Structure formats: structure tokens, C-alpha cells
Amino acid sequence: MNNRLINWFKYASPQSFYPLAGKMIPWFAAAGAVFGIAGLWIGMAVAPTDFQQGEGYRIIFIHVPASWMSMFIYLVMAFWAALGLAYNTRLSGMMAQALAPTGALMAFLSLWTGALWGKPMWGTWWVWDARLTSELILLFLYIGFIALQAAIDDPRRADKAGAVLALVGVVNIPIIYFSVKWWNTLHQGASVSLNRAPAMASLMLWGMLLMALAFWMYSIAIALYRARTIMLERERGTEWVKETLAAEGAK
Amino acid sequence: MIGSVGAVAARDLKLAMRRQADLVSVLFFFIIVASLFPLGVGPEPQLLKKLAPGVLWVGALLATMLSLPRLFADDYRDGTLEQLVLAPQPLGLTVIGKVVAHWLVSGLPLALLAPVLGLQFDLETDALLILTVSLLIGTPALSGIGAVGAALTLGLRGGGVLVSLLVLPLYIPVLIFGAGAVDATVTGMGAEAHLSILGALAIGGVFFAPWATAAALRISLE
């Protein structure tokens, strides 16, 4: 037990995590590429054309994984934030900071592809549907997190302040979601319902799952890559960074 | 315990009363924003009546947000905040005291001013009443949640814009149920459900936000 604890905390220091992340990135990137190619192949070539929506539905192979990832990344970010506040580890804040842009990108992608899908299907780019609105608010929360971190020069303070904000945000997400949902049903603005049961062909489901895995792997790879850059930048005064950079330069 | 909350609130109130221009400017911001909407969308009474709950609530929200930096900024500048953090009383209680004072000088006047502006929008008497009640219940939540944002952005450049980025998304539930209560009265559905949820949000906000604020203050003062 004691042994395991030491092992875990060993990678909590940037110095030992940096090479580990470097080793992991190619694997996750490769897995992302493989899943992505397989998912796109099933989604674009193999899956049957939808009876009602025609070919336009195929955008869900991007849209749904992006929406899932945007929500999931916020939770992971909040997890790292909580860990950073509790254990005061430097790496946790770096991970949260590295995840935020990817999460914001996913939320934006989800909104963008949703708009592209909505135009031919609903005849409008945007409806004030509960899901769309809460996804938009999620994007705002990401932007707030990134803006707060960017405004603070001292990285340790930036980490902690961002962590408090991420935790406050994560507590608020269910409240925001349900209030938006109720607001929407009261106003009955959008006559379109997204709440039908997902009665889709199993091939479509497979395509979507593969794409979700691909997005997942991509997010991990890019977050680790970004975390490595942040580590080098923040620890630039230390010996290990100088040695690492010298070693990498020699290659 | 109540004594320390009261002492902080009384001190903040006294300081606020010495600078009444600050308070009045927030109120005038609210009045001007509410007056801009008819000029922007046109003077049709039906349309204005429909817009009124949302416009007045958004105006109150923005006015509260603009007054947030006052919550800690002055105390931060002259070092009082550090002493408050060092004091033996729990920091969360001190924050509650400051939130109470902030509400008394921003939320309460806004709520009392809102029905006058509601008249401009041709709201009925019962809608005006619910507007005031919903603002009375909802603005404490705005002060509480806003305190977290104010504490996080303490002493940062561009703090004012930043605080709006942080705080406005978190204000959305309060806005929905606050404006929804007035809307429900206008359409004759009854506002009790909205007001109950608004009350729950206010209690939750005032109870939990000070502890997050205390954590944020400690980080800002490190």
C-alpha cells in the first residue's frame, strides 16, 4: 500500500511526469487516429442513409462526441482543480489549465456542428432549446476559466483561483441545466424536441462510439502535449528543464 | 457569531454612507439601462409590457455586477482585508457580513426602484408587486454569488470585465426564475413556484458562496 502511494505521487512532480507524458502522447495520438479513421469510415461510408434526415444526419458523428467531451472535460478539469486545492500539487493546476482550451474547443464544435445540422433539419441555425442553451453557457464557463487564468500572472495563484472557479462552476452546472430546461418548457419556444429515444441503427451507434473514443484519445493527447509545454514554461528556471532541453536539442 | 457579522456589515454600511455618490451612480445606471430599451425597440405598449420583466431583471443584474468590485477592492487597497483575514473570526462569517452590507446598498435600493421603472413599461399592479418581491428575494443570491467573482478577480488588471465573464453565467438561474416570476404573473399563471425556487437559490447562494469567497480571498491575498 505504502509502495503504491509513493508510485502515485512520484508522477505528481512535473520532473517525472514530463517524460512519462512524452511517452504516452504518441500512443494516444495513434489510437485517436485509428479510432477516428474507423469511425469516419463507418459514419460516412458504411452507415445507411437516414430515412428522414437524408445524408445530413451524418454530422452527428462529430456533433455528439464533441458534446460529450465538452461536458466530460469540464468534470475532469474540476477533478484536477479539486485535487490541486486539496493536495497543493503543482501538476494538477497545469492539467486543469491544459484541459480548458480543449474543452472550450469541444463546446464550440458542438454548437457549430449543431447549427450546421439545425439549418437543414429545423430550418434555423439556432433555437433556444434547453440543450443548446446550456451548452452555450458551458462554453461561457470555459471562457471565464481561461480568462481568469490568463489575467493572473503568478501561476500558483492562477491555478488556485481557477480551481475555485471550476468547482463553483461544476456545482452550478446541474442548477443551470435544470433552470434552462424548465425555462424552455415554460416558454415552449422551440417546437422541436431532441428527447426522442435514440432509435438508431446499430451501425450508426458504432460509428458514434468510435468517434467518441477518437475524440477522447485526441483530447488526452493534446492535453498532455499542452501540459508538457506548460511544465517547461513554468519550470524554466529549474535544472531538470535545462537538462531536458539540452538533451532534446542534442537529438 | 452574529455580532461579528453585524459589526462587519455595520462598518461597510457606514463606509458606503460616506460615499453616497457611488450608490446613486449604480441606481442611475439601472434607470438609464431600463430607459434605453424603449428607445431601442420602439414605444409600443404591448411589446414593452412583454419585455419588461426581462429588461428590468437584466438591468438589475448588470447594476449589481457593476457594484461588485466595491465589495473588497477598497479594503484590499488599504490593507484592511488582510487584517480581516487574519482576524480570529471565521472568514466566511466576515464575508457574510460584507455580502449583507452589499445587498443593503445595492440589491435593496434596486428592488425598491424597480416598480417605478416598471410603471414606464406599463406593468399592472400585481406584476409590479411580484417584480419587487422577486428582486428582494433574488438580489441576495446575486450579491452572494458575485462575491466569489469579486474575490477571485481582486487586484487583477481588467478586473471589471473579468468579473462579468465569471459571474454572469452563474447568474443565469436567478435571472430565469426572477424574470419568470414576473412573466408568470403577467400571463396569469401565478408566481409562487418561481418565487419558491428563487428563494431556494438565494438561501443556497448566501449560505455556500461565502465559503467559496473566503477560499478565493485567501488565494488572492497569498
Kindly list the residues from chain B whose CB atom is less than 8 angstroms away from the CB atom of residue A169: 169-170
- Most B CBs within 10 Å: which of A134, A137, A159, A165, as the mutation test of the B interface? A165
Specify the pLDDT at position B210.
Answer: 92
Instruction: Find the helix packing angle between A90-122 and A202-234, rounded to 10°.
Output: 140
pLDDT tens digits, one per residue of A29-61: 999 999 999 988 888 887 777 666 777 778 888
Q: Answer yes or no: do B165 and A144 touch at CB < 8 A.
A: yes
**CB within 8 A of A18, min separation 6: which ones?**
A228, A231, A232, A240, A244
Please give the residue that has the higher pLDDT: either A197 or A112: A112
pLDDT tens digits, one per residue of B105-146: 999 999 999 999 999 888 888 889 999 999 999 999 999 999
Percent pLDDT > 70 in chain A is 88
Task: Identify the sign of the CA torsion B4, B9, B15, B17.
Answer: negative
Q: Answer yes or no: do B158 and A151 touch at CB < 8 A.
A: yes
Half-sphere exposure of B188 toward its Cβ, with a 13 Å CA cutoff? 0
pLDDT tens digits, one per residue of A172-188: 888 888 888 777 776 65
Please give the residue that has the higher pLDDT: either A129 or A95: A95
Q: Answer yes or no: do A148 and B177 touch at CB < 8 A.
A: no
Task: Identify the sign of the CA torsion B221, A168, A166, A78.
Answer: positive
How many Å apart are CA A100 and CA A70, to the nearest integer? 10
The answer on pLDDT for A3 being more than 60 is no
Kindly list the residues from chain A whose CB atom is less than 8 angstroms away from the CB atom of residue B169: 137, 140-141, 144, 169, 172, 176
Smallest CA-to-CA distance from A91 within A161, A5, A156 is with A156
CA distance B66 to chain A (A): 17
The answer on pLDDT for A129 being more than 80 is no
Residues of chain B with pLDDT under 50: none
Nearest-by-Cβ selection for B172 from A179, A182, A186: A179
Q: Answer yes or no: do B153 and A168 touch at CB < 8 A.
A: no
- Most B CBs within 10 Å: which of A164, A178, A185, as the mutation test of the B interface? A164
Q: Answer yes or no: do B172 and A137 touch at CB < 8 A.
A: yes
**DSSP state at residue A48:** P
- Most B CBs within 10 Å: which of A183, A185, A188, as the mutation test of the B interface? A183
Residue A61 C-alpha from the chain's centroid: 16
Residue B167 C-alpha from the chain's centroid: 11
DSSP string, B155-195: T-TTHHHHHHHHHHHHHHHHHHHHHHHHHHHHTTS-SHHHH
Task: Count other Cβ atoms within 10 Å, centred on residue A136.
Answer: 18
Q: Answer yes or no: do A141 and B169 touch at CB < 8 A.
A: yes
- Is the Cβ–Cβ distance between B30 and B63 less than 8 Å? yes
Q: How many A×B Cβ pairs under 8 Å?
A: 73
Instruction: Find the helix packing angle between A60-87 and A155-187, rounded to 10°.
Output: 130
Q: Burial of B222 by CB count in 10 Å (0-12 exposed, 13-18 middle, 19+ buried)? A: exposed
Specify the pLDDT at position B138.
Answer: 93
Specify the pLDDT at position A61.
Answer: 87
pLDDT tens digits, one per residue of A203-212: 778 888 899 9
The answer on pLDDT for A197 being more than 50 is no
Nearest-by-Cβ selection for A168 from B162, B168, B212: B212
pTM score, whole prediction? 0.87
Q: How confident is the model at residue A8 (pLDDT cuts 50, 70, 90)?
A: low
Percent pLDDT > 90 in chain A is 39
Q: How confident is the model at residue A201 (pLDDT cuts 50, 70, 90)?
A: low
Residue of B nearest to A167 (CA): B212
Kindly list the residues from chain B whose CB atom is less than 8 angstroms away from the CB atom of residue A143: 165
The answer on pLDDT for A199 being more than 80 is no
pLDDT tens digits, one per residue of B84-106: 899 888 899 999 999 999 999 99
Q: Which of A7-16, A28-37, A100-109, B124-133 has the lowest mean pLDDT?
A: A7-16
Q: Burial of A178 by CB count in 10 Å (0-12 exposed, 13-18 middle, 19+ buried)? A: middle
**CB within 8 A of A62, min separation 6: which ones?**
A109, A113, A211
- Most A CBs within 10 Å: which of B51, B76, B166, as the mutation test of the A interface? B166
Helix (H, G, I), strand (E, B), or coil: what is residue B152?
helix
Specify the pLDDT at position A191.
Answer: 44
Please give the residue that has the higher pLDDT: either A220 or A194: A220
Specify the pLDDT at position B104.
Answer: 93
